[in-house]
């Protein structure tokens, strides 16, 4: 059934309205970020921003008066570290789960599946205790490890899905040509699975970027705060600096939104295939 | 190295990671829940006495049961609307229209927004005096009161649920959209030829095609909502007057505000038990989808 032009136009209008409603909070965040406090703190805020009043003042505040760049670099360091570590571990494990079937594989697969249902907010208590005993409170490495514990179970199942889609004959051919199994994985299978690897990396990065519970609990010193703990620290002060907070929020979101645009086509097909579940 | 050893070697880092970073913490939480040490002593000193005191104290505390009720209200209040909105969004996005790829991406964007960011944006939208929501309510003469959505005991749970829905509906939409794309077009054509109306087409063609993934998404999201931390903690911290204190938040407060590690662990174990109960109840659809 090919949709007619008129019905496509009607659908477009409906979708556009829906997107408008969904994105209103983001729109409002961006509008607030570009307006001075005097305009923002109004009983009758303008729904469309007065162009004349728009300024970059709030961004200036966020970047200069707040240690936004410190939070950003901490978040970046932790997210990149956790993504890289999780990706290596879960690529190897995903390949093993995809190519070999034994009790060990089955049990590990099930345990990985189960542990991705376990909540970060519960393991944070024992994690805090372990970090305290190890003297690793206020240490970005413990934050990387904590995010890895969340990432590995997810990414392993994602990678297994990608490897399942690559015929085994390809690895077999490579080993016959004289590759060791590890070489076959590295030189032959991984290049084919590269789009999947990218998707898994983006997914891991977005999850690590969003972490709040570990960052809030395992880090005390403000100079080691991440973006989420930084943003949360705006709230609860007397008279929240809303434009500054919204500016910091908008800036903090840019990287994940760009990555999401790259990841989205995969998510739609991948969720059905069972990979991200 | 034989195949089996190679396969095991590849798995080892993941096993170490899961055992060390998930399994061991779980053992710790269960151990601590049975430790009869007060406060933070459990962390620094070896545990000498064991018993059920933490469980007795937690289970006999009416506040725990308040939290159980709050948790159930929060989970159901988040999951049901998220599912319905996600289903609606997916059905709409699955139709043919121009700019499909871009609009689909925009509609699902909240999925990628960090929970804390969602929290601060909604705090601002729902600010009592200057929030745009109260302004719109005043402008349309719905309500003239400056409702403190997050600070009023009666509205706080509702206020916390709204950003939770906003953040979780895209997962449903993504899952259902993926499933919709696997339904062959000729099924719809056949239904059309047979004279089925759109409601009949939905229940006889669409729903059977998306049922499995949809049920699975509901279960997973319910588990995630059960332990939601970021949004509740960053908006209300469990308050006011514990109106938004779910079990997850309660465990965290016991541990890091009152330093009652034992009680916190007992609440944690109870939450895991609740999650396990949910998994057992949902065993059949889970098995069907996963194995």
- Mean pLDDT of the region B52-78: 91
Write down the pLDDT at residue B234: 92
Q: Do A45 and B127 touch (CB under 8 A)?
A: no
Cis check for the bond before B288: say yes or no (omega within 30 of 0). Answer: no
Among residues B204, B198, B165, B197, the alpha carbon closest in space to that of B183 is found at B204
Q: Do A272 and B106 touch (CB under 8 A)?
A: no
Sign of CA dihedral B135, B136, B138, B143: negative
Sign of CA dihedral A116, A120, A125, A129: positive
Whether B186 has a pLDDT exceeding 70, the answer reads yes
Do residues A246 and B86 lie in contact, with contact meaning Cβ atoms separated by under 8 Å? no
**Cα–Cα distance between B210 and A233 in angstroms, integer?**
42
- Mean pLDDT of the region B157-181: 92
Do residues B189 and A1 lie in contact, with contact meaning Cβ atoms separated by under 8 Å? yes
Q: Do A246 and B129 touch (CB under 8 A)?
A: no
Among residues A216, A211, A22, A264, the alpha carbon closest in space to that of B117 is found at A211
Write down the pLDDT at residue B42: 67
> Which residues in chain A have their CB less than 8 angstroms from residue B251's CB?
121-122, 125
Number of domains in chain A: 1
Write down the pLDDT at residue A276: 43
Most confident of A222-231, B173-182, B269-278: A222-231
Question: Does residue A88 lie within any of the structural domains?
Answer: yes
Rounded to a whole number of angstroms, the distance from the CA of A146 to the nearest CA of chain B is 7
Q: Do A235 and B123 touch (CB under 8 A)?
A: yes
Write down the pLDDT at residue B160: 95
Residue numbers of chain A with a pLDDT score lower than 50: 272, 274-277
Is the minimum CB–CB distance between A128 and chain B shorter than 8 Å?
A: yes
- The CATH number covering residue A216 comes to 1.10.3720.10
Whether B284 has a pLDDT exceeding 80, the answer reads no
Supply the DSSP string of B9-45, one letter for each residue. Answer: HHHHHHHHHHIIIIIHHHHHHHHHHTB---TTHHHHS
Task: Count interface pairs A-B at CB distance under 8 A.
Answer: 303
Rounded to a whole number of angstroms, the distance from the CA of A238 to the nearest CA of chain B is 14
**Cα–Cα distance between A212 and A227 in angstroms, integer?**
9
Top-confidence residue, B217 or A270: B217
Is the minimum CB–CB distance between A47 and chain B shorter than 8 Å?
A: yes
Q: Do B21 and A149 touch (CB under 8 A)?
A: yes
Cis check for the bond before A250: say yes or no (omega within 30 of 0). Answer: no
Write down the pLDDT at residue B261: 86
Question: Does residue A46 lie within any of the structural domains?
Answer: no
> Which residues in chain A have their CB less than 8 angstroms from residue B7's CB?
96, 99-100, 102, 104-105
Write down the pLDDT at residue A118: 67
- pLDDT tens string A145-204: 999 988 888 888 888 888 888 888 888 888 888 888 888 888 888 888 888 899 899 989
- The Cβ of residue A128 has, within 10 Å, a number of other Cβ atoms equal to 21
Write down the pLDDT at residue B287: 64
Write down the pLDDT at residue A270: 61
Domain of residue A126, residue span: 67-227+252-273
Q: Percent of chain B, pLDDT > 90?
A: 30
**Cα–Cα distance between A198 and A271 in angstroms, integer?**
16
Is the minimum CB–CB distance between A15 and chain B shorter than 8 Å?
A: yes
Domains of chain B: 53-290 (1.10.3720.10)
Residues 6+ positions from A75 with CB-CB distance below 8 Å: A209, A226, A227, A228, A252
The CB-side HSE value for B136 (13 A sphere, CA atoms) comes to: 7
Q: Which chain A residue's Cα is nearest to B163?
A: A25
Rounded to a whole number of angstroms, the distance from the CA of A133 to the nearest CA of chain B is 7
Question: Does residue A27 lie within any of the structural domains?
Answer: no
Write down the pLDDT at residue B215: 84
Element of type H or E holding A7 = helix A5-22
- Mean pLDDT of the region B14-35: 85
Write down the pLDDT at residue B44: 67
Q: Do A12 and B92 touch (CB under 8 A)?
A: no
Write down the pLDDT at residue B202: 87
**Cα–Cα distance between B70 and B241 in angstroms, integer?**
12
Rounded to a whole number of angstroms, the distance from the CA of B154 to the nearest CA of chain A is 20
Among residues B164, B107, B251, B134, the alpha carbon closest in space to that of A126 is found at B251
Question: Does residue A132 lie within any of the structural domains?
Answer: yes
Top-confidence residue, A155 or B1: A155
Rounded to the nearest 10°, the torsion over CA B9, B14, B19, B22 is: 180
Do residues A43 and B144 lie in contact, with contact meaning Cβ atoms separated by under 8 Å? no
Lowest mean pLDDT among A2-11, A15-24, B12-21, B150-159: A2-11
Whether B86 has a pLDDT exceeding 70, the answer reads yes
Is B258 strand, coil or helix?
coil
């Amino acid at each position: 059934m090919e949709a007619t032009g008129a019905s496509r136009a009607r659908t477009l209008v409906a979708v556009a309205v829906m997107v408008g409603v969904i994105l209103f909070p983001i729109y409002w965040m961006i509008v607030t970020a570009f307006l001075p406090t005097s305009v923002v703190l109004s009983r009758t805020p303008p729904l469309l921003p007065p162009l004349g009043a728009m300024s970059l003042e709030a961004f200036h505040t966020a970047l200069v008066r707040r240690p936004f760049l410190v939070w950003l670099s901490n978040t970046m360091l932790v997210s990149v570290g956790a993504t890289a570590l999780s990706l290596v571990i879960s690529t190897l494990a995903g390949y093993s789960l995809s190519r070999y079937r034994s009790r060990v594989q089955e049990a590990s697969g099930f345990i990985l599946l189960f542990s991705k249902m376990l909540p970060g907010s519960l393991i944070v208590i024992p994690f805090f205790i372990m970090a305290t005993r190890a003297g690793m409170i206020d240490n970005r490495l413990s934050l990387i490890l904590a995010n890895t514990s969340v990432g590995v179970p997810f990414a392993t199942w994602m990678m297994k899905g990608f490897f399942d889609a690559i015929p085994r004959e390809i690895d077999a051919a490579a080993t016959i040509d004289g590759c060791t199994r590890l070489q076959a994985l590295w030189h032959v299978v991984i290049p084919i699975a590269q789009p999947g690897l990218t998707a898994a990396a983006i997914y891991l990065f977005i999850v690590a970027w969003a972490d709040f519970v570990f960052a809030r609990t395992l880090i005390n010193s403000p100079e080691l705060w991440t973006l989420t703990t930084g943003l949360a620290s705006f709230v609860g002060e007397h008279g929240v600096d809303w434009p500054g907070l919204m500016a910091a929020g908008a800036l903090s979101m840019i990287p994940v939104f760009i990555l999401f645009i790259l990841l989205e086509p995969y998510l739609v097909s991948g969720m059905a295939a069972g990979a991200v579940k | 190295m034989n195949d089996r050893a190679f396969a095991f070697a590849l798995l080892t880092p993941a096993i170490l990671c899961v055992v060390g970073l998930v399994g061991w913490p779980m053992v710790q939480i269960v151990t601590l829940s049975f430790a009869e040490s007060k406060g933070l002593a459990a962390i620094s000193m070896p545990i000498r006495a064991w018993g059920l005191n933490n469980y007795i104290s937690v289970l006999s505390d009416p506040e725990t049961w308040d939290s159980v009720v709050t948790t159930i209200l929060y989970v159901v209040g988040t999951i049901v609307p998220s599912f319905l909105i996600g289903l609606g969004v997916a059905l709409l996005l699955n139709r043919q229209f121009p700019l499909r790829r871009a609009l689909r991406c925009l509609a699902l964007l909240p999925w990628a927004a960090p929970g804390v960011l969602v929290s601060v944006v909604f705090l601002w939208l729902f600010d009592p005096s200057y929030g745009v929501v109260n302004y719109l309510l005043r402008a349309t003469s719905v309500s003239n009161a400056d409702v403190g959505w997050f600070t009023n005991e009666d509205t706080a749970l509702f206020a916390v649920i709204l950003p939770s829905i906003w953040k979780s509906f895209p997962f449903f939409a993504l899952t259902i959209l993926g499933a919709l794309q696997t339904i062959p077009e000729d099924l719809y054509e056949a239904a059309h030829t047979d004279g089925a109306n759109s409601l009949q087409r939905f229940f006889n063609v669409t729903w059977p095609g998306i049922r499995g993934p949809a049920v699975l998404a509901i279960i997973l999201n319910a588990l995630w909502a059960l332990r939601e931390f970021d949004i509740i903690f960053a908006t209300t911290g469990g308050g006011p007057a514990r109106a938004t204190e779910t079990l997850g938040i309660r465990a965290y407060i016991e541990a890091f505000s009152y330093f009652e590690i034992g009680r916190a662990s007992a609440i944690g174990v109870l939450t895991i038990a609740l999650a396990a109960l949910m998994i057992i109840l949902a065993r059949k659809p889970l098995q069907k989808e996963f194995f």
